Amino acid sequence: MEGQILGNRYLLLEKIGGGGMAVVYKAKCTLLNRFVAVKILRTEFINDDEFVKRFKIEAQAVASLSHPNVVSIYDVGHQDDIHYIVMEYIDGMTLKDYLNKHGALNWKHAVEITIQICSAIEHAHKNNIVHRDIKPHNILMTKEGIAKVTDFGIARAVTSSTITMVGSTIGSVHYFSPEQARGGFIDEKSDLYSLGIALYEMVTGKVPFDGDSPVAVALKHIQEMPLEPHKLIPSLPYGVNEIIMKAIQKEQNLRYQSATEMLSDLNTVLVQPQGGFVGNKSVSNQSTIRIRTVNSDDIDSTVRVSTRPSNVNNKKYESEKQKKKNNTTYWLAGIASVLVIGVLLFITIGLLTKDGSKNEINTMPDYRNKIFEDVKEDLIKRGINYTENWQDNDSVEKGIIFDQSVEPGTEYRNGNFTNLELTISNGPKTKKVPDITNKDYRAAQSELESQDIKYRIEEEFSESIKEDYVIRTDPKADEEIAEDAIVTIYVSKGAEVKLIKVPNLVGKTESVAMQLLKDAKLSLGSVLPAGTTNGIVNKQAPEAYSEVAPGEAITIWLTPQEQQAPSSPSQSDSSDTKPNGNSGGDNTKGGNNKGNTNTPGDQETSGTQQPDNGSGDGDNKTNTEGK
């Protein structure tokens, strides 16, 4: 189907994938001048009216989703017997291919990918769309490391007659939830189970359940608990292990109840990998039972049993009671003795230090609103014992005393017996800006949010930092900021691309067209019809004079060039001097056209018929006056 145009705008360029239900082509949208992916329904399904109807409804529903981690659907349509969906084109690979290439991932990298997928699932669930087929095969990874979930809702379009074929083709059984394997009720928690299986595979390099047949694997999902991932990877943080094991519980009520809940734990584990925050609350499944009404007799008997000793143990009870009373008396006597000794010691020290200046009575100064470093000398001079109590204070500068334990004007006696607590400001509560440069801006957002740091995003072009990655922050990394300060994240839009105008190739030979594209720093794409060579360009896409990025591929259509027998010199001369308005012909000669110059080098040899475009403009210009 390469070369075919769907919907009068989508030019199919090449096949890039396929599955049990559809074939995917890379295409060019000639209207918006961008690459797209076109998924075309296989011919064996076009006569299944129910399948086609539900396929369209699901596609239209998913088209309402708008999220950076969801492959966008741009258009849905049909042409003749072709039913197709136009989607965002992702230049990358599936997560499954990524795992096959890299093996088990570092736990942080795996969690960051899972956060992106879970965020996409959360967005879909809030729009009442359940994916039903979450697996690494349906996650596309861009070259920048961004995860994009695709095939949302398509699983719902599978009828009972197609589920076996599709399942065996795409291998979903390894990621099925137990309720899917049983054919039971499927809801949002089924997607979270599949996501947990995918995270298990990312950190261990293998799926938790495998078998000789799809049925054997499905039974393991229902009956067996997998080996915990930290037993396969001892270095795996326990927090990640907890998240995975909660997500893949057999019972739906024991799993995460929403994508939002799971997303919160995934963000937390990046800063608290040791775990301990994953909750295990569940809705009880205990059956309803009938019990006798609790009456006053039950209450009275309970009180009597719990508060009164039995007759058999009455003597022992009285003995214990007397013993406790004696212990209390001893304690009271001991405390009184300590107090008496303390008073006597205080009086004795006072008499020993009674020598004039040290016994002088003074009044406590007011140290509030003063710099602590400036009053330390005065405190020592006055013989005041003091303690420092540093506290955060948004309204008082750092180092300023804003409270004291002894009120100003209170009398005190010199001799280092007066204790004064000074409350000193640490200034506003601050936080340190984390270093998020060269990180994907979504991961940077998660890191700032986990530390309760407010932020805003600015975009700018960068030659050195790839698109969607952080260039810098303001304030800079490791700087102290106030608790309510806002950090500006500068995100790269990639290198600034200067658009190029597409030259007019219509009427040119293939070789001339190639040279014009090369001069314009563009490339030649498909040449259609396939197999045509040495023809004349009759059509091009994108159109002439439209603006495209450097290196863009231009598709051309050729008309086969007809060959004629060479004409006689007299005929050639006569033909060349005849004014017909076509200045793009062969090289001209003759006495009537003095000073004529050869036309540019894109002309064919004499005897080759060139198309007459009726215009003096373009690349083939002749000086007819010699002026």
Can you give the C-alpha Rg of the chain in angstroms?
41
Backbone angles phi, psi at 517, to 5 degrees: -65, -40
Structure tokens at 505: 């190739």
Residue 370, annotated as binding a ligand = no
Structure tokens at 229: 């991932």
Annotated catalytic residue 133: yes
Structure tokens at 286: 């205990």
Closest to 474 measured CA to CA, from 497, 501, 455, 495 = 455
Structure tokens at 535: 């023809």
Residue with tokens 């009828």: 159
Contact 189, 252 (CB under 8 A): yes
- State yes or no: cis peptide before 475, omega within 30 of 0: yes
Report how far residue 33's alpha carbon sits from residue 382's, in angstroms, rounded to the nearest whole number.
Answer: 84
Region for residue 205 given its phi and psi (left: phi exceeds 0; alpha: psi -120 to 50; beta: otherwise):
left
Q: Where are the beta strands (DSSP E) in 419-485?
A: 419-425, 430-432, 454-460, 470-474, 480-482
Which helix (H) or strand (E) segment holds residue 26: the answer is strand 22-29
Structure tokens at 211: 């078998």
At CB < 8 A and 24+ separation, what contacts does 274-278 make? 274/237, 274/238, 274/239, 275/237, 275/238, 275/239, 275/240, 275/241, 275/242, 276/238, 276/239, 277/239, 278/239, 278/242, 278/243, 278/246
Report the b/e string of 367-376 with b at 16+ CB within 10 A: beebebeebe
Closest to 546 measured CA to CA, from 30, 8, 45 = 30
- 341 CB contacts (<8 Å, ≥6 apart)? none
Strand partners, 391: 425
Which helix (H) or strand (E) segment holds residue 574: the answer is helix 569-577
Secondary structure (DSSP) of 157-183: G--TTTHHHHHHHHTGGGG--HHHHHT
Secondary structure (DSSP) of 115-157: HHHHHHHHHHHHTT---S--SGGGEEEETTS-EEE--TTGGGG
- Centre a 10 Å sphere on the Cβ of residue 471 and count the other Cβ atoms it contains: 19
In 3-state terms, what secondary structure has residue 20? coil
Structure tokens at 188: 């949002």
Give the DSSP letter of residue 544: T
- State yes or no: cis peptide before 542, omega within 30 of 0: yes
Report how far residue 399's alpha carbon sits from residue 18's, in angstroms, rounded to the nearest whole number.
Answer: 69
In 3-state terms, what secondary structure has residue 76? strand
In 3-state terms, what secondary structure has residue 402? strand
Report how far residue 167's alpha carbon sits from residue 158's, in angstroms, rounded to the nearest whole number.
Answer: 10
Q: Which of 75, 97, 133, 210 is catalytic?
A: 133
Which helix (H) or strand (E) segment holds residue 372: the answer is helix 372-381
Instruction: Decide the pairing of beta strands 385-391 and 419-425.
Output: parallel
> Residue ranges for the binding site for ATP?
39
- As annotated, the active-site residues are 133
> Residue ranges for the binding site?
39
